[in-house]
Structures are given as structure tokens and as C-alpha cells.
């Protein structure tokens, strides 16, 4: 673990009441950059096996039952001197538990309070449940994923949840900057669905040109043209071609000895013919042959790696996109590479409730009182 860098968010205290992916990913990023993060969950959730442990590096974790008065008071005691609180309850739940923004203000008026939910704190959908596939589906983005003739395909990664987490990080940093200038905290309403709006400027750009939004597997950046496509190789693997610009397309055509295709990059009349020529060409040789062919060509042609293959590549190792922590587990690197205050991984992911006793002792609870809290189901 890297003990040297303390990070840009040194001395910023965060309490994270959220679970699953969006909130914990958000607080992990803050922790990676020096924030002191304490995550809290009810002990009953331990049995659900939804504790994504890799998200809990650089953090502390305690169990706490907020439905009981004593549990809520412990939370409020900890909240007195925290800078940021993150919660991921459905709208209205924090209020029922007595841990909402309005409940914190009397003890900590400068707090930054971030609520992350599927559809936000207002609007007709605010009380509806949802997961990644629902947010993608309702925004129309899911309809862009998958084969043209068939139902949409659910991506193998949580696109909406991760976008929501990054939006929450942005909101928290903006609020911290505002507080630095004014001394004022504020409430942040993060809707995971709202966060997907960042995908729309490019979609609107294409609509302004063609008169229509892009269609699934039939648009400039999704399989319509040969220059931006994926192809199967002789050994049933795949290669990705991303030659949007004509200069790259020309180099690829010349390398494949297909100079007649150079002027046909976006030709609608010959579109299918060009696609078939490239499909036939790439199917003629295994992926290793094409990797060797294009390795020195400046033309946006890359192999489609499996996850197991990708983590072994020099790219992943040189940039530390992923690395093995001291326990031998794969861990994501720090993608924001700051020169003066770089983020770092200072401690391994904690287990569920690992720091409960430590936190309570810092509040003055002795061993007997801690045991009493456990017997009462408060921790």
C-alpha cells in the first residue's frame, strides 16, 4: 500500500450510508484522494451477500441500526464534525429514520449532504424502484444496445450506476469548493437517471444532421459503416475498427490492399458491399495475424480482448489500470493522476462491520457498552 500521498481531500470527513454500487463507488473515489470515509450499514444486510468488498478500500466500515433511537444518536454524534454525508435510500426513508439533511443541520449547519437515488427526490418517478437496466431503458439508451433485429442487450457493466456515482463525486467536489469560498454547506440531489443526460449531446448532434436519433446497430458509431465496426477473425475472436476520420480509413484500406474502398467510407450505395469485403478479409486470418499486421499502423485498429486477456496487457500494467493489492486481489487503479496531490491506495478493503468497535470506542463506549449495543441489535 502507498503510504506517501495523502491526497487532495486530506482532512475531509465523509459518512456513507449507502449500499450496493453508486454510493460506495462515489465514496471510494473520495477515499482514494485522501478523504476519511466511514461507511455504515445495518447488520441485517450482511446476509444478503451484496457487499462489494473491493469498493471499501481506504475506508472504515461499521454496523449501525438507524431504526433504533440509540443507533440514530450514535450517527448524529458522528455527523457533528463530518464534512460530507452520502445516502442512497429511496426518497423519504432518510426522513423516516431521522437522518435526513434537516436532521443534521441543527448539529452541523455546514454539512454537505448528498442523496443518490434512481429517479431523484422530486417528480412522478421518485418513489419507484429501479436498477441499472430500468434507468437505461427509460432514457432510451438501452434501445441503442444490441443487435438490430432483436430485443436490446443489457450491457455486462452497470453503465447507469457508475455514471451516477461519478456525477455524485462531481456534485460533492463542487459543493466542497463552494463551501471553501462561502462557508456554506448544501444539499445535493443526485438522480442516476438524470446523470445519463451526459450521453445525449452526441445523440442530438447526429439527430441534427440526419433528422433522426441513432438507431440500434445502424448508426455512424454503431455498425452501420465498415469504418467503425467489429469483425470476427478466423479463430472466432474479434477485432475493433474505429476509423471515423478518413485519414485512418485510408491507411486501413491500403494496409488490407483494398484501395478501391478508400472513397467509399460513408458511401450509402456501396455500404453493404464494403462491409462484406471487410468481414471476408478479417475472417481470412486469426486475430494474432491482424494484431501483427496493424501493431505499427497509426489507424485505430485494436483486438477485442476478454477481461482475462486485458488485465495482462502492458497497457493495464504500465498505467496501473488494475493492480494486485497486498492481499493478491485485483484492484482498480487511480485514473485521475494528479501531479501534486496524487490519489493512492493506503489500506486494503475492509470487511463488513470491521471497524464498529473502533468507532464506538472513539466515542467513549467501553467494551461492556459495546457488548450491550450488540445484544440490543443496535450494531
Domain ranges of the chain: 13-198+320-375, 216-310
pLDDT, residue 173, reads: 98
Rg (the chain; Cα; Å): 25
pLDDT-derived band at 328 (thresholds 50, 70, 90) equals confident
Q: What is the pLDDT of residue 323?
A: 85
Q: What are the residues facing 240 on neighbouring strands?
A: 230, 302
Phi first, then psi, for residue 319 (nearest 5°) are -95, 0
Helix/strand/coil percent split, the chain, to 5 = 40, 15, 45
Coil, helix or strand at residue 359: helix
Tell me the mean pLDDT in the region 192-209: 97
What is the mean predicted confidence (pLDDT) over 107-128? 98
Residue 160 has pLDDT above 60, yes or no: yes
Find the length of the chain.
Answer: 379
Q: Is residue 4's pLDDT more than 60? A: no
> Has residue 1 got a pLDDT over 60?
no
pLDDT classification of 79: cutoffs 50, 70, 90: very high
Residue 2 has pLDDT above 90, yes or no: no
Q: Which 3 state secondary structure label does DSSP give 232?
A: strand
Query: Which range among 170-179, 230-239, 326-335 shows the weakest confidence by mean pLDDT?
Result: 326-335
Give the pLDDT confidence score for residue 157 in this predicted structure.
96
How far is residue 174's CA from residue 369's CA, in Å, rounded to a whole number? 40
The architecture that CATH gives domain 216-310 is 2-Layer Sandwich (3.30)
40: β partners: 62
Question: Span 172-183, mean pLDDT?
Answer: 98
* Element of type H or E holding 206: helix 200-210
Q: How far apart are CA 325 and CA 198, in angstroms?
A: 33
Angle, helices 132-139 vs 159-182, to 10°: value is 90
**CB under 8 Å to 161, separation ≥6 — which residues?**
20, 21, 22, 25, 132, 192
Catalytic site residues?
A: 131, 161
H helix or E strand, kind and range, residue 228? strand 228-232
Whole-number pLDDT of residue 3: 54
Helix (H, G, I), strand (E, B), or coil: what is residue 60?
A: strand
With a pLDDT cut of 70, the percent of the chain lying above it is 99
CA angle 256, 258, 263 (to 5 degrees): 125
User: What is the phi/psi pair of residue 146, to 5°?
Assistant: 115, -175
Which SS3 state, helix, strand or coil, does residue 118 take?
A: coil
- Please name every residue paired with 189 in a beta bridge, in sequence order, or none if there are none: 115
Calculate what percentage of the chain has a pLDDT beyond 90: 95
Other C-beta atoms lying within 10 Å of the C-beta of residue 135: 25
pLDDT digits (tens, 9 = 90+) for 275-323: 999 999 999 999 999 999 999 999 999 999 999 999 999 999 899 999 8
Mean pLDDT value across residues 344-373: 96
In whole angstroms, what is the distance from residue 84 CA to residue 272 CA? 55
* Mean per-residue pLDDT over the chain, rounded: 96
In this prediction, residue 6 has a pLDDT band, given cuts at 50, 70 and 90, of confident
> What pLDDT shows up at residue 271?
98
Q: What DSSP element (H or E) covers 136? A: helix 132-139
Residue 123 vs residues 91, 127, 131: alpha-carbon distances, Å: 11, 9, 18
Between 3-12, 73-82, 240-249, the lowest mean confidence (pLDDT) is in: 3-12
Report the distance separating Cα 87 and Cα 23, nearest Å.
7
Residue 46, pLDDT > 70, answer yes
SS3 51: coil
pLDDT at 114: 98
pLDDT at 206: 95
The whole-number average pLDDT for the span 42-52 is: 94
Residue 167 φ then ψ, to 5°:
-65, -40
**Do strands 84-87 and 13-16 pair parallel, antiparallel, or not at all (unpaired)?**
parallel
Q: Please compute the mean of the pLDDT values over residues 85-98 and round it to a whole number.
A: 98
In CATH, the number for domain 13-198+320-375 is 3.40.50.10540
Amino acid at each position: 500500500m502507498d503510504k506517501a500521498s495523502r491526497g487532495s481531500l486530506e482532512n475531509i470527513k465523509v459518512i456513507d450510508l449507502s449500499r450496493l454500487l453508486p454510493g460506495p463507488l462515489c465514496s471510494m473515489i473520495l477515499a482514494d484522494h485522501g478523504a476519511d470515509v466511514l461507511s455504515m450499514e445495518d447488520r441485517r444486510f450482511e446476509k444478503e451477500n451484496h457487499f462489494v468488498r473491493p469498493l471499501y478500500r481506504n475506508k472504515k466500515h461499521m454496523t449501525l441500526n438507524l431504526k433504533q433511537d440509540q443507533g440514530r444518536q450514535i450517527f448524529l454524534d458522528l455527523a457533528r464534525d463530518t464534512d460530507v454525508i452520502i445516502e442512497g435510500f429511496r426518497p423519504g426513508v432518510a426522513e423516516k429514520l431521522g437522518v435526513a439533511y434537516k436532521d443534521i443541520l441543527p448539529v452541523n449547519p455546514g454539512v454537505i449532504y448528498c442523496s443518490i437515488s434512481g429517479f431523484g427526490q422530486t417528480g412522478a418517478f421518485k418513489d419507484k424502484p429501479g436498477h441499472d437496466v430500468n434507468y437505461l431503458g427509460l432514457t432510451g439508451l438501452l434501445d441503442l444496445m444490441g443487435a438490430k433485429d432483436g430485443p436490446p442487450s443489457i450491457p455486462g457493466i452497470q453503465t447507469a450506476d457508475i455514471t451516477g456515482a461519478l456525477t455524485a463525486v462531481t456534485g460533492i467536489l463542487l459543493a466542497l469548493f463552494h463551501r471553501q469560498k462561502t462557508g456554506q454547506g448544501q444539499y445535493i440531489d443526485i438522480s442516476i437517471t438524470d446523470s445519463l443526460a451526459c450521453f445525449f449531446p452526441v445523440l442530438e448532434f447526429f439527430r441534427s444532421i440526419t433528422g433522426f436519433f441513432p438507431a440500434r446497430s445502424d448508426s455512424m458509431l454503431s455498425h452501420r459503416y465498415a469504418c467503425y465496426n467489429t469483425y470476427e477473425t478466423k479463430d472466432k475472436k474479434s477485432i475493433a475498427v474505429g476509423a471515423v476520420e478518413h485519414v485512418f480509413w485510408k491507411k486501413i484500406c491500403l494496409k488490407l490492399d483494398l484501395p478501391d474502398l478508400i472513397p467509399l467510407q460513408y458511401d450509402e450505395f456501396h455500404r453493404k458491399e464494403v462491409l462484406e469485403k471487410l468481414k471476408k478479409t478479417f475472417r481470412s486470418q486469426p486475430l494474432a495475424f491482424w494484431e501483427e499486421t496493424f501493431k505499427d499502423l497509426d489507424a485505430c485498429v485494436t483486438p477485442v480482448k476478454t477481461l482475462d486477456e486485458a488485465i495482462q496487457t502492458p497497457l493495464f500494467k504500465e498505467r496501473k489500470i488494475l493492480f494486485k493489492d497486498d492481499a493478491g486481489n485485483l484492484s482498480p487503479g487511480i485514473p485521475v493522476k494528479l501531479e501534486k496531490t496524487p490519489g493512492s491506495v493506503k489500506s486494503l478493503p475492509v470487511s463488513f462491520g470491521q471497524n464498529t468497535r473502533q468507532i464506538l470506542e472513539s466515542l467513549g463506549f467501553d467494551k461492556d457498552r459495546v457488548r450491550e449495543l450488540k445484544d440490543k441489535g443496535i450494531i
